[in-house]
Amino acid sequence: MPGIGHNRGPSMDDGRAVRIYTWKHAQAARRESLTVEQVRRRRTRAAELGMSYATYASVRATAGRDVDALVFTSNALGLQGGGPLDRSWAERLAGIRRCLRIGLLSAPLDPVEMAEVLPLDRVYRAPPAHASWPALRAALARVQEGRPASSFVLVGRAPWEEGWVAAGRLGAYLAAGTYLGGALDRA
């Protein structure tokens, strides 16, 4: 019966140093190395998405692919009270290029009514705050419209919204403050 130390500690077999060297070398080779041109393209892409390069690199590493859509919750946009969209958000949304801008609006906001006012490409009803997993999955599948879920990034503010990423198998989650607060890097 295994107890404390059942794995018998580190291997003392011959060739241990070679195995460690080989493992470290393989780990280093596995890390992504980018050319200068790739970094320039990614910095330009980050600016198109309204993100800092560091934020974009983190999102891309998490998702494993480029961002096709940014999904903004009404909480992230500061629309809880039904007031107008803040000017800083309007400017940031208007500056996004080559990416779908999608809104998820919580009740009592009406997606049809708000679609005319918000600078977004599509607007949907957000799932309730404490919806079941299947309800979350179904709501986020509607938003994806058949596109790969990992290419969608959710920008939210409320604590429960971060769980929507797992339910919808989305690429990443960004806190609204991180997205809005990030300075644009220029190539």
- Residue found under tokens 């779908």: 100
- Name residue 103's amino acid: G
Give domain 36-181's CATH number out of 3.40.50.1000, 3.10.20.90, 3.40.50.2000, 3.40.630.30: 3.40.50.1000
Place of tokens 């009592």: 108
Task: Please state whether the predicted TM-score (pTM) of the whole model is above 0.85.
Answer: no
Distances (CA, A) of 60 to 34, 40, 49, 96, 113: 13, 15, 12, 17, 33
**How high is the pLDDT of residue 29?**
76
**Coil, strand or helix at 174:** strand
CB 172 within 8 A of CB 69: no
What is the C-alpha separation between 80 and 82, in angstroms, rounded? 6
φ/ψ (deg, to 5) at 122: -145, 150
CB atoms within 10 A of CB 126: 26
CA distances from 77 to 97, 125, 126 (A): 18, 14, 13
Instruction: Quick: pLDDT tens for 42-79.
Output: 999 999 999 999 999 999 988 989 999 999 999 999 98
Helix 36-49 / helix 53-63 crossing angle, nearest 10 deg: 100
173: helix, strand or coil: strand
Per-residue pLDDT reduced to its tens digit, 129-170: 889 999 999 999 999 999 999 999 999 999 999 999 999 999
pLDDT band per the 50, 70, 90 thresholds, residue 121: very high
